[in-house]
Structure 1
Amino acid sequence: MPSPIPVTRLLPKDIYPCLDIGTCSSPLSKQCHGYTLQVPAQRLHGRVTSRLWSSVIHWKELRAVQPVGSGGFGSVYRAEYLGETVALKKVKKCAKNKLASRQSFWAELNAAHLRHRNVVRVIAATTCVPADFEDESSIGTILMEFVGNRNLQQIIYGCAELLNGDRWLRYSTDIAHGLRFLHSHSVVHLDIKPANVLVSGEDVCKIVDFGCSLKLDRGCEASAIGGTYTHRAPELLKGEGVSPKADIFSFGITLWQLITREQPYTGDKHHVLYAVVAHHLRPSVQENPVFQSEQGRLCSSLLARCWSGEARCRPSAQELLPHLEQLRNVDPL
């Protein structure tokens, strides 16, 4: 079945005009019919570099596949590929909504051709899998750079590590840099949250999991599905159009979590959804003593702008950066 998302929204313009779209399950990988997209396989870390990912996985080069984690999206493994450590992600087939499963897989590739320090890099992806790697519950496989086993969710809530002002500011600045880059290429993530931000061994944040993302075509109205309700912008909850400002709302909730190490909301999901839209419910700031310092008051002001009910009133990712830099120059929380 062809992708439900047009190939022009997944590939850079210098690639997709030469594609021969046929009946293969993937518009990106034609090797099951004797054709391949002419994107070279690449070694990592500069040995053989290209800004492009590959639609061919050289399965014989895959070694030592070990499980790392799993969830509703599928499963992630650590593996060796062409002599380097990589992350292998199998996107799960949803029996209840097969179309949504396929959309999620292709959405994972919206940023595949982009390269940035704060975005996890895609190496290769395909829906054509040899029999000895076949998994009936999987609709596709993606190879990505291996960042590590830690994400911000684990750092915020699952360990006793100190998360002081310098550290959460570095983390939030990393996320803002990643968003600025994605938005400059018309990619909206739509599921920014601590669990979707990996932290490398060098303590650098990298945005991952693009299964809800959209590539915004110029002049094209788009609607979004999926995402995490606690971080979802009110205009998306109301079914309105998507813009990069939806990611800024999610960034604001994530920044609040980094500062407070608390859960943004408690109580029934449907009550929270209604209250966010109808009563402008947001995580607590005024009652939280951590926001009483000079830095805290500046944070409070920035958060209020990020999670404004009006998307046009939120700062862009570019505008976030000087505000975060200003926070470094005042008394810490």
Structure 2
Amino acid sequence: MPSPIPLTRLLPKDFYPTVDIGTCSSPLTKHPHGSTLQVPAQRLHGKVTSRLWSSVIYWKELHSIQPAGSGGFGSVYKAKYLGETVALKKVKKCVKNQLASRQSFWAELNAAHLRHKNIVRVIAATTCVPAGFGDESCIGTILMEFVGSRDLQQTIYGCAEPLEADRWLRYSSDIVHGMQFLHSQSIVHLDIKPANVLVSSDDVCKIVDFGCSLKLDRGCEVTPVSPYLSHVGGTYTHRAPEMLKGEGVSAKADIFSFGITLWQLITREQPYTGDRQHVLYAVVAHNLRPSVQDRAVFQSEQGRLCSTLLSLCWSGEPRCRPSAQELLPHLEQLRSHLHE
């Protein structure tokens, strides 16, 4: 019988002593007390924006639920909650991999206690879903701030308007600030990509979808991945080589993913073409990376600086990649060249 996955890997330390995950049939260590997700939270009153997140959802206060999108482990809806617009995410049970879908739900809560302008805020989360608000395939519900219906993927590939350098530099800076805060809290996202970055009505980028995230072991820069953590991985086009090889996880995996995302912002092209398995093999065995050699945008002085930064971010050696904190001066240097 394998040892259970450490609950600290998926939830902040302040939460896990009071967690009972029986209603989710989670493989994680089960706490003998209580019957639902219990977290230290203030009673809900006042505006949504003034509260910490809670394990209680007042279902009668949830109205005007409209589909807004869907992904591998769930569907997202726009709704009204206590008079305010929110995003409601239903995490569904994956028929092919039920363990992964359950782990994905708990991984979503890694960032639930965080407050940062470049991270989508969690309002409430629960595994108790009354009849009429879910179905048998729903294993948990998460209420989040509603940022908008536009993500960076749509901005890059779906908009006819130009994506000027000052704009993609601002977007990049938003993402890096969000990553830097996550990493300072020992959380790695592990699925940084344009589709997981929402763009607000104020044109501010916010990182969302923590279903692949991990909490690093305290005091460790690299955390070995348990073979029983089946949700870890992220999107193959943005996955760091060490992740593809099944090696330890560190914050540098997010830096690699950011490098691919930055290339997409600059070029507005897809990073790879061809068979998925070929790409996976070539990234690891032949250091395949998105092309910069034949792109005119990388021929200017600013372009050469971008090319150098990309090479650092997607280095095959995690230790050679800059930290999120170290990325910020590089982006400032790019911005200064833009205004010369």
Same fold, TM-score > 0.5, yes or no: yes
The correspondence for 2:270, drawn from 263, 266, 270, is 263
1:57 alignment counterpart = 57
CA shift for structure 1 position 286? 1.3
Contact kept? 1:153, 1:194, Cα under 8 Å: yes
CA shift for structure 1 position 96? 1.0
1:228 is the counterpart of 2:222: no
CA shift for structure 1 position 177? 0.1
Contact kept? 1:5, 1:103, Cα under 8 Å: no
Give the distance between the partners of 2:42 and 2:176, measured in 1 at CA: 31
Contact kept? 1:90, 1:138, Cα under 8 Å: yes
The correspondence for 2:295, drawn from 288, 298, 313, is 288
Closer, same or farther: CA 30–114 of 1 in aligned 2, 3 Å: farther
Give the distance between the partners of 1:263 and 1:41, measured in 2 at CA: 46
Q: CA RMSD in A?
A: 2.5
Contact kept? 2:66, 2:77, Cα under 8 Å: yes
CA shift for structure 1 position 5? 5.1
Contact kept? 1:26, 1:127, Cα under 8 Å: no
2:70 match: secondary structure: strand
CA shift for structure 1 position 242? 0.3
Contact kept? 1:29, 1:126, Cα under 8 Å: no
CA shift for structure 1 position 134? 2.7
Contact kept? 1:29, 1:127, Cα under 8 Å: no
CA shift for structure 1 position 139? 1.1
2:147 alignment counterpart = 147
> What does the per-residue CA deviation read over 1:13-44, in whole Å, with 9 as the maximum and x for residues that have no partner?
44444x26474437999998489544224468
Q: Unpaired segments of 5 or more residues in structure 1? A: none
Q: How many residues align?
A: 327
CA shift for structure 1 position 71? 2.4
1:162 alignment counterpart = 162
CA shift for structure 1 position 204? 0.2
2:319 alignment counterpart = 312
1:87 alignment counterpart = 87
Give the distance between the partners of 2:37 and 2:108, measured in 1 at CA: 23
TM (norm. structure 1) is 0.91
Give the distance between the partners of 1:100 and 1:138, measured in 2 at CA: 14
Q: Unpaired segments of 5 or more residues in structure 2? A: none
CA shift for structure 1 position 182? 0.1
> What does the per-residue CA deviation read over 1:239-276, in whole Å, with 9 as the maximum and x for residues that have no partner?
10000000000000000000000000000111111110
Closer, same or farther: CA 82–129 of 1 in aligned 2, 3 Å: same
Closer, same or farther: CA 47–221 of 1 in aligned 2, 3 Å: closer
> What does the per-residue CA deviation read over 1:58-95, in whole Å, with 9 as the maximum and x for residues that have no partner?
10110110111112221100001111110000112111
Identity %: 74
The correspondence for 1:39, drawn from 41, 52, 56, is 41
Closer, same or farther: CA 205–93 of 1 in aligned 2, 3 Å: same
Give the distance between the partners of 2:237 and 2:46, measured in 1 at CA: 36
